Amino acid sequence: MLKAWLKSKISDRFLYKIRKQIADNIPGGSSVLEIGSGTGSQLIMLSPNIKEGLGVDIDSSMTQFAQKIAKEKRIKNIKFKVMNAQNLDSLKKKFDVGIAILTIHEMDYHTQISVLEKLSKISKKVIIADYILPNKTLGRILLYIDEHIAGHYKNFKLYLHNGGMKRVIHDANQSLIKKLKTSSPTIHIWICKFK
């Protein structure tokens, strides 16, 4: 739980404006599935405006933390479940919107493609927020250090080397609807759907 608490204090603040931008692209009354839901902050932010939300994360300390916060806030329309996003096809449900925030780059290439295909097959549209390679050297150095500390440097490096999200979206048979810049020079948002 310490890891989840630290994440909620550090990255959730950094991501606040990006979460708002994502929320602006989700119609009220939607059903939302988030893969790699972490501390649950995005779904918690969305909860007053959506019909229902399900967050899945491979890390049980994250889902426990997210569920605890939702309970404390008396939020009834969102749930969190421990699940590897590779097993999304076991969910017998379809959603209006699927989201993945800073999650795809943590996976190896084949998992990225398979997970994005599965997510888009059960969601009418998919919203992804993830890293791009910053233009400025300092930005690059900070991002590489951050990924080293986070412990998934190898997949992150390969993700950028392969062409980042542009390549993942192409290889996972997605039509790009919209691409948005964010308040962070290292993060973009892609909105897409299965071709």
- Smallest separation (angstroms) from ligand SAM to the CB of 151: 10
Nearer Cβ to ligand SAM (11/64): 11
Kindly state the smallest distance separating residue 66's Cβ from ligand SAM, in Å: 9
Tell me how far apart the terminal alpha carbons of the chain are, to the nearest angstrom. Answer: 39
Q: How many CA atoms lie within 13 A of 42 on its CB side?
A: 34
Residue 79 C-beta: closest distance to ligand SAM, Å: 15
Which residue, 8 or 174, has its beta carbon nearer to ligand SAM?
A: 8
DSSP letter string, 1-43: -HHHHHHHHHHHHHTHHHHHHHHHTS-TT-EEEEES-TTSHHH
Per-residue exposure over 93-107, b if at least 16 CB sit within 10 Å of its own CB, e if not: eebbbbbbbbbbbbb
Chain residues binding ligand SAM by CB under 6 A are 11, 15, 35-39, 41-42, 56-59, 62, 84-86, 101-103, 106-107
| CA distance linking residue 104 with residue 113, whole number of Å | 9
Name the minimum Å distance from CB 107 to ligand SAM.
6
Query: Which C-beta is closer to ligand SAM: that of 83 or that of 169?
Result: 83
- Between 69 and 102, CB nearer to ligand SAM: 102
